Structure 1
Amino acid sequence: MGDSPPRELISLADDEGNSVSVNVLARTPRWTSGLDAEIVVKTPFVSGRIDLALSVARLESWANALDRLDAGEDAAWMEMSSGPTISVQLTGERGCPEVVVEDESGSMVTVRVPLVPPEDWIADHRQRLRQVLDHWIPMLSG
């Protein structure tokens, strides 16, 4: 097709300069059914990134997290695995949604990013997930 592979699985940002994204980088050479990815946090105060390995199961668990968020519940993604965890709290400590990125097993750093996502962000992220799955799953399965 000539199209570039979908890169942004998660892209949450506001007009205050706060953002959290998960970018799919490539198929990992270390593991035939995995993807190299990164979590990127940017705020006017702090910025950082951490490597992440994505599997089909992790991508499917993001779909489940989106379902919980759509039902009005807070959700944590990758909470029970080693590596970083991303949590979305619909009503955070500052009265607006917050994305919490925790790297307990590595750097032991936690970053809370308050941001108000656009109205249609859950539908947008379902579409992002579908694009990532449609592009990468055939390559990971074969």
Structure 2
Amino acid sequence: MFPFELVRLTDFENEVRITVQSAMDDASWEARIEITSLFVKGSTLLVLSRAKLDSWGQALEALSMGQDITWMQTARGPTVSVQLEGERDCPEVVVEDESISMVTVRIPIALEDGWIADHQVRVRRFIENL
């Protein structure tokens, strides 16, 4: 089951990926956020819980209804936001790691049709295999 690519937002020039690396115990998983663009490349570790997975599913539902989202907005660890109408006429993904590196990266990504449904399948598949 591992590694499992939970999130893959890409337009083949810019990319944000979240890959679940391994189970830490029955209720938490170690994952890595990777950001790649022509300008910047970076990554950070995070811990996913069942609550975070459920909230990602809820965030995807909100996105499907045309709402921008912020996922994992907590005092610790990275936060991922998706703005459907970015400044460059395409969605923008913002990854903030204020608690550790204090770095924020904003990446415009011209996402393909069906990306939300694809991610709904990904999160459902991961949860079903727990």
TM-score by length of 2: 0.95
Report if the CA contact (8 A) 1:36-1:52 is conserved: yes
Query: 1-side partners of 2:62 and 2:81: how far apart?
Result: 12
The structure whose Rg is larger is: 1
The percentage of aligned residue pairs carrying the same residue is 47
Report if the CA contact (8 A) 2:19-2:32 is conserved: yes
Mapping 1:1-142, distance limit 5 Å: 4-5=1-2, 7-15=4-12, 17-28=13-24, 31-136=25-130
Report if the CA contact (8 A) 1:37-1:54 is conserved: yes
Task: Report the secondary structure of 1:53's partner residue.
Answer: strand
Task: Report the secondary structure of 1:49's partner residue.
Answer: strand
Query: 2-side partners of 1:93 and 1:77: how far apart?
Result: 20
Structure 1 runs of 4+ aligned residues shifted over 2 Å read none
Superposed CA RMSD in Å reads 1.3
Segments of 5+ residues of structure 2 without an aligned counterpart are: none
The count of residues paired between Structure 1 and Structure 2 equals: 130
Report if the CA contact (8 A) 1:6-1:135 is conserved: no
Report if the CA contact (8 A) 1:36-1:53 is conserved: yes
Q: Which amino acid aligns with 2:10?
A: A
Report if the CA contact (8 A) 2:2-2:21 is conserved: no
Segments of 5+ residues of structure 1 without an aligned counterpart are: 137-142
Instruction: Render the CA deviation track for 1:93-135: whole Å, top value 9, x for unaligned.
Output: 2221100000011111000110111100010000000111112
